[in-house]
Structure 1
Amino acid sequence: MTDTGSSRPKDARSEATDHHGDPVRPTPETQPGSLFGPDAQFHRFFNDPRWALAVLRATVLEAAHPQIGAALIDNSTFVAHPWRRLRNTLVSLQRMFEADDDTRRREAARLNRLHARLSGTDAQNRPYDAMDPQVRAWVVATLFESSVTMCRLSGQPLDRTTMEQLYAEFQAYLGAFGDQAGHLPPTLKEFWQYYDHMVQEELEDTEALRVILYKLFDHLPAPPLLDGLPTVWAAGRALAGPVLGTITVASLPESFRRRAGLPEIPGAQSLMHSAYVGVGLARFLPDNWLRAENVTSLLYLSPDSDDPRAATLNALRDRMKRAGALFRLVTPFPAQDGSAEGAEPRRSAEEFFTAVLDQTGDGYLDWPDLAAMARELSSRLDLDEPEETKLYNAYAEWWRELQAALDIDGDGRISREEYAAAVPSLAGPALIRVAEVLFDVTDTDGNQSIDADEYRALFRTGFRRTVADADADADADADADATYSRSAFVKDFLSFMSGRWSSTPFDPLLAEA
């Protein structure tokens, strides 16, 4: 691998053709500053709507790696909270490709701390470690290769200069984590050899791959924007899910499809090419419509947000509810979650277990679920050390307390039934400690109260709409003066985590998809 940010691979220009047979063009030296920042090729792809398909394809190829697949199954929230994971991934990529070196170093350190906590053994007793440099290299390799393939499948193959630039950027991205040279090949010719070897020899038909292709698409939860519209979402998902799965499978390397036994559906290749070309036409839309951060912010815009766009979207939601009611009359789709469209949610202990505690979606509560909570809270608050470790340690102590009190059969995890039988006993000293630590890391100025800015950092919503002691009719200046005391915060958090509240600011924080 080349130096992490100043040069492109030295001997990459010696090839006659690239991996797809495109002619080689003389490649000018890459300017150091262009590997990151606004001039990077990455930003062109990041806001390209086709990249959504490319990232999905890359995720499947990552999940087919035995170590990555095992880590996803054991630790990831991608099944229960896919939209949250998508948003966090996009935010992280943006930070890593910022022109500001301090922002990039800080995000790389955060990701290194996160990955250092992910290790274990898979179902075949093989070890996995998210800090393994070869594993990290494969993640970056799939992003690069899928970006190249995205352009080829949509009839716009990259020229040699652009491909060289993009590869140098992804090499620099990997190098920003501190990994040593050699974990990604130094030249494009060697990269394609490495990629073919990985696809043909190393990838497997993992459980994580099957979950993504045949469970996630069929059971994808609604994003926050469409929460409360289950019929509309179920109808759209029933149509789009199988199509998206077919497109993704068809875009995978043929040799891997055969080895993994993935189905060959007649017409899938034509559908896949049409999808890439069709989505690519969106590039003719206004630029601000295509910015990834604008799209994700809309998906996460809650109905009670004080964002100016919320009023327009709420009117649209009302029309969609009416359409959903009409649709329900003429289709067999049942109402979801046992409630009517837009009704206030009423959760039993079992429902709270599934929506909040079981973050990984495997049907049990164990340490990876609480670690996922700590990870999400740390990400929202953008915590550095030692605050991040304090929060993780508080959750670890709570897990030990829960395990001692609720793990009746001694299998090292807590079932839904074990939890439901002991709900009243959950608000013990360790959970109180979690609440206090969360308050401390949210209260950045240390004045023993959470102000409007600190509140928004944690809950991503307006203060006056959710804090009881703030006057709902007050103007913006009065809203800015509202505060959340330590005692009130701890009380609310304990009430939520013991399942006594069904609708609080903490619901979208830990239960949103």
Structure 2
Amino acid sequence: MFGPDSQFHRFFNDPRWALAIVRATVLEAAHPQIGAALTDNSSFVVHPWRRLRNTLVSLQRMFGPDEHVRQREAARLNRLHARLKGTDAGNQPYDAMDPEVRAWVVATLFESSVTMCRLSGQPLDQVTMERLYAEFQAYLAALEGRAGYLPPTLAEFWQYFDRVVAEELQNTEALRIILFKLFDRLPAPPLFAGLPTVWATGRAVAGPVIGSITVASLPEALRRRAGLPEVPGAQTLMQGAYMAARLARALPDNWIQTENFVNLLQLSPDGDNPSAEVLSDLRSRMKRAGALIRLLTPVPPQQDGADRLENRRSARAFFSEVLDQTGDGYLEWPDLAAMARELCSRLDLDEPAETRLYDAFAAWWRELQAALDSDGDGRVSEEEYVAAAPSLAGPALIKVATVLFDATDADGDQFIDAQEYRHLFRRGFGRSVADAGSRYSRSAFVRDFLSFMSGRQRSAPYDSLLSEA
């Protein structure tokens, strides 16, 4: 069911898979419980590229050949989902560990995989479809311990899928954000950081197209139920997009491998990746193209990369770029939980190290509430933060720094070596660290972390850790 011979493994590097993932995400977001969990807890609006990378890494682990890796990843996902529960704006409960909800997530991945083949003119035969369904059942069983919340047969699955679409899916806020906000405001990945004109111009064209393609591919019952607009020509555009993605499979393997594509988007010009020099040259050419675009189009002027990478940033900029991880304009526990989640994912922590880091962030949140929440509404607004920003660096934040150091210092020698540093920051040592003997001491790490998290000092490594899209 897993490994390189699985049907899913063949799909993973298929260019059509990108369209299928977007479609599946919309179907998930239309479920009331999932939509509420995404709206309240997810950082996908502000950090979509980070979320994409983490999702793909997780799928690779779950469908890989190593049973130990799969069990470890399943345990990590279960711990992550166990923390996502609460009530929505209508006071209805949601719980990411609800087995029926988790079954729906897997169902959307399977159904969207089948649909991508059908829409691209290569429908799956019955045997292949049943094998693929068995693989997704095995995926759910690896998470739940059993796959009983998905129907046992493929024929029953289609009845189940149609019933959920017709009776349970809704026009949720998360669905509207994905379709009508995310694509229009999609932040630039690191590859395009500092090239706002180029990115904004491309996004202005591609955003509405992706949204129209996605809406046209959704089940008609959901389109009617959610009141999604019918765009003239969208069906033809959708068919053309899926056919083009199918033809793209003829490109060289290293061009279309999902991992290579995601790594390319994550490249940073100030990193030490071997491709950084080529990237810098490419970016300089793109900047010249951006200058030409500014002359020809009325795109509002924006700061370029050099302006935005100045050592100090305003309190308002730090609030929006770093602290407000969910992008709702307020600092709340889900924002700090999103930071903890990203750090735990990067370091691939097990229990109890993961719990210690979450607990440290929770203590910091309580400290922030006590210091900054002047109106007592349980959250910190941008104005409240700006008015009392110096209160940010208290004892609880120091505790976060020390716990993060201990989690990164895998060998426990009280220094972060080059390999441990790359594990956390996905880049080599900076000059200041290398000058200190190629080791990062506890005191230096805590000092740099506090300086960044209090908004006093910019830092390329920490920016890439917590503020990159």
Shift of the alpha carbon at 1:289?
Answer: 1.4
Runs of 4+ in structure 1 off by over 4 angstroms are none
Match of 2:206 among 234, 240, 248: 240
Match of 1:446 among 401, 407, 412: 412
Aligned to 1:387: 353
Is 1:326 the counterpart of 2:282 in the alignment? no
Read off the aligned partner of 2:396 and give its amino acid letter: A
Aligned to 1:81: 47
- Is the Cα–Cα contact under 8 Å of residues 140 and 147 in structure 2 kept in the other structure? no
- Is the Cα–Cα contact under 8 Å of residues 496 and 504 in structure 1 kept in the other structure? no
The residue correspondences of 1:45-444 to structure 2 (distance < 5 A) are: 45-336=11-302, 339-346=303-310, 347-444=313-410
Identical pairs, percent: 74
> What's the secondary structure of 1:445's corresponding residue?
coil
String of CA shifts for 1:472-508, please: whole Å, max 9, x gaps. xxxxxxx9x6000100000000000000012332011
Aligned to 1:501: 457
Match of 1:459 among 421, 425, 435: 425
TM-score under structure 1 normalisation?
0.90
What is the rounded CA distance, in whole Å, between the counterparts of 2:51 and 2:113 in structure 1? Answer: 20
TM-score under structure 2 normalisation?
0.98
Read off the aligned partner of 1:101 and give its amino acid letter: E
Shift of the alpha carbon at 1:329?
Answer: 1.4
Is 1:488 the counterpart of 2:444 in the alignment? yes
* Structure with bigger gyration radius: 1
Aligned to 1:6: none
Read off the aligned partner of 1:292 and give its amino acid letter: T
What is the rounded CA distance, in whole Å, between the counterparts of 1:286 and 1:340 in structure 2? Answer: 34
What is the rounded CA distance, in whole Å, between the counterparts of 1:48 and 1:143 in structure 2? Answer: 14
Read off the aligned partner of 2:288 and give its amino acid letter: R
Shift of the alpha carbon at 1:467?
Answer: 4.3
String of CA shifts for 1:290-313, please: whole Å, max 9, x gaps. 111111011101112222111111
Shift of the alpha carbon at 1:235?
Answer: 0.2
User: Would you tell me which structure has more helix in proportion to its own residues?
Assistant: 2
Read off the aligned partner of 1:507 and give its amino acid letter: D
Shift of the alpha carbon at 1:258?
Answer: 0.9
What is the rounded CA distance, in whole Å, between the counterparts of 2:40 and 2:391 in structure 1? Answer: 27
What is the rounded CA distance, in whole Å, between the counterparts of 1:469 and 1:259 in structure 2? Answer: 56
- Is the Cα–Cα contact under 8 Å of residues 60 and 209 in structure 1 kept in the other structure? yes
Read off the aligned partner of 2:221 and give its amino acid letter: S
Match of 1:468 among 428, 432, 435: 432
What is the rounded CA distance, in whole Å, between the counterparts of 1:289 and 1:169 in structure 2? Answer: 27
> What's the secondary structure of 1:120's corresponding residue?
strand
What is the rounded CA distance, in whole Å, between the counterparts of 1:168 and 1:73 in structure 2? Answer: 31
What is the rounded CA distance, in whole Å, between the counterparts of 1:245 and 1:504 in structure 2? Answer: 33
What is the rounded CA distance, in whole Å, between the counterparts of 1:178 and 1:424 in structure 2? Answer: 45
- Is the Cα–Cα contact under 8 Å of residues 70 and 128 in structure 1 kept in the other structure? yes
Shift of the alpha carbon at 1:181?
Answer: 3.9
Shift of the alpha carbon at 1:179?
Answer: 4.0
- Is the Cα–Cα contact under 8 Å of residues 251 and 272 in structure 1 kept in the other structure? yes
Shift of the alpha carbon at 1:362?
Answer: 0.6
State which drifts further: 431-440 or 282-291: 282-291
What is the rounded CA distance, in whole Å, between the counterparts of 1:140 and 1:242 in structure 2? Answer: 27
What is the rounded CA distance, in whole Å, between the counterparts of 1:37 and 1:138 in structure 2? Answer: 23
- Is the Cα–Cα contact under 8 Å of residues 116 and 242 in structure 2 kept in the other structure? yes
- Is the Cα–Cα contact under 8 Å of residues 133 and 179 in structure 1 kept in the other structure? no
> What's the secondary structure of 2:105's corresponding residue?
helix
> What's the secondary structure of 2:94's corresponding residue?
strand
Read off the aligned partner of 1:138 and give its amino acid letter: W
Q: Which stretches in structure 2 are left out of the alignment for 5+ residues?
A: none
What is the rounded CA distance, in whole Å, between the counterparts of 2:195 and 2:247 in structure 1? Answer: 29
Read off the aligned partner of 1:300 and give its amino acid letter: Q
Q: Which stretches in structure 1 are left out of the alignment for 5+ residues?
A: 1-34, 472-478
Read off the aligned partner of 2:349 and give its amino acid letter: L
Is 1:38 the counterpart of 2:4 in the alignment? yes
